[in-house]
Amino acid sequence: MSRRSLVSVLTAGAVALTLGLSGCVAGEGSALSPDGTETAGGWSSDQLSVDFATYNPLSLIIKEKGWLEATLGDDVEVTWLQSSGSAAANDALRAGALDVGSTAGSAALLARANGSPIKTVDVYSQPNWSAIVVAADSPIQSAEDLRGKNIGANAGTDPYFFLLQTLAEFNIGLDEVTVTQLQHADGKTALESGAVDAWAGLDPLMSASVVNAGSRIVYDNPDFNSYGFLNATESFLEKSPDLAQVVIDAYEKARQWAAENPDDAAAIFADVAGIDLPIANSVLLDRTNLAIDPAPGQKQLDVLGVIGPIFVDSGAVAEQSQIDDALASLFDTTYVDGADPSRVTE
């Protein structure tokens, strides 16, 4: 799979470092451990922990189809952990509970800037998944009306960063609102019960609230959303480049499968998310773009370059130099460059 030369230049150092480890990662029997010795079953480890999340439709397809288990066989135990949001995924990656986890791009940047040893190895989607939402009978008519209000948001996630950008866009200081920390599902409940005045929402919960509870989106700006990033810990990439390649092969197979089977993809999404099929179709077709270049590169850097200074201004990151260092070291395109969906066993 060929990739733009610009992406290769951006991550040349990481590619050169990792190619020595991952030059032969095509399948079972070909993998070597970090010290160059073949392990039982041909894989570098007998354990793989990955997440699935309703904000990452490709993960749901891979889990439902059992492609990782089929490809790795009985010699590798695959553990699936559900991420309730980017912050939860980042916590699990930092703690070592996950080898591979999905977050918003903004959350990956925040984690890397604050010392979490992760690399973005695939871009799974370009979503328009965040917006400012109010209850059906709310007097709030626009983002300008948020001053003085209580807003539910999940810190460390794209909706939270969407909120920060929205406040800045309308010249509302963070000290002029009350931000109540809530997990995404709890934010939806709080909005619909009247416990908060507004919610920095996330699909598919947001779309479900609009359809089922009459909630209203009062501010929506696709440019404020970052991409969906698939991240892996550096220790995992160093020790198990063969397993990392299998994961990315599966992601690219899922991307192809979703394009060829949109109705089935929506059905899987609806089932896991617990939403009606029409809502699932709307989220996938209208608010999520899966048909993108999966290699992290300049487009993502452009978005994160805008978000980074907001982290510093809000105190989420101490210094801009941390943002700059994170942007220079976050991406690793090795596995996308070498991806081959045909290696995945169905």
In the numeric block, the tokens 């020790």 are attached to 239
Q: How many domains is the chain partitioned into structurally?
A: 2
User: Which candidate, 294, 289, 311, places its Cα nearest to that of 109?
Assistant: 311
- Pair 119, 235 in one domain: yes
Q: Tell me how far apart the alpha carbons of residues 278 and 267 are, in angstroms, rounded to a whole number.
A: 9
- Pair 90, 152 in one domain: no
**What is the percent of the chain with per-residue pLDDT over 90, rounded to a whole number?**
80
Of the three residues 204, 224, 244, the one that is the final residue of a domain is 224
User: In 3-state terms, what secondary structure has residue 127?
Assistant: strand
- Pair 99, 140 in one domain: no
Q: What is the pLDDT of residue 223?
A: 85
User: In 3-state terms, what secondary structure has residue 2?
Assistant: coil
- What is the side-by-side order of every strand in the sheet holding 198-202? 178-181, 150-153, 198-202, 130-134, 216-219
Of the three residues 224, 241, 257, the one that is the final residue of a domain is 224
Indicate whether 20 pLDDT > 90. no
- Pair 28, 167 in one domain: no
- Pair 142, 216 in one domain: yes
- Pair 118, 138 in one domain: no
Of the three residues 207, 224, 241, the one that is the final residue of a domain is 224
In the numeric block, the tokens 């909005």 are attached to 191
Read off the CATH number of the domain in which 139 is found: 3.40.190.10
- Pair 163, 54 in one domain: no
- Pair 185, 261 in one domain: no
Interacting residues of 215 by C-beta distance below 8 A, sequence separation 6+: 133, 134, 135, 136, 191, 192, 201, 206, 209
Q: What is the pLDDT of residue 98?
A: 98
- Pair 243, 305 in one domain: yes
Indicate whether 11 pLDDT > 50. no
For the stretch 216-241, pLDDT in tens is 999 999 888 889 999 999 999 999 99
Indicate whether 329 pLDDT > 60. yes
Contact 59, 50 (CB under 8 A): yes
DSSP structural state of residue 304: H
User: Which candidate, 346, 311, 249, 306, places its Cα nearest to that of 22?
Assistant: 249
For the stretch 24-35, pLDDT in tens is 333 333 344 444
- Pair 230, 120 in one domain: yes
Q: Give me the chain's average pLDDT, please.
A: 88
- Pair 157, 21 in one domain: no
pLDDT interval class at 39 (50, 70, 90): low
Question: How much of the chain is helix, strand and coil, in % rounded to 5?
Answer: 50, 15, 30
pLDDT interval class at 40 (50, 70, 90): low
What are residue 48's DSSP bridge partners?
Answer: 78
Structural domain boundaries, residue 282 = 5-126+226-343
pLDDT interval class at 285 (50, 70, 90): confident
pLDDT interval class at 215 (50, 70, 90): very high
- Pair 243, 117 in one domain: yes
Q: What is the pLDDT of residue 10?
A: 28
Roughly what angle, to the nearest 10 degrees, separates helices 105-113 and 320-329? 110
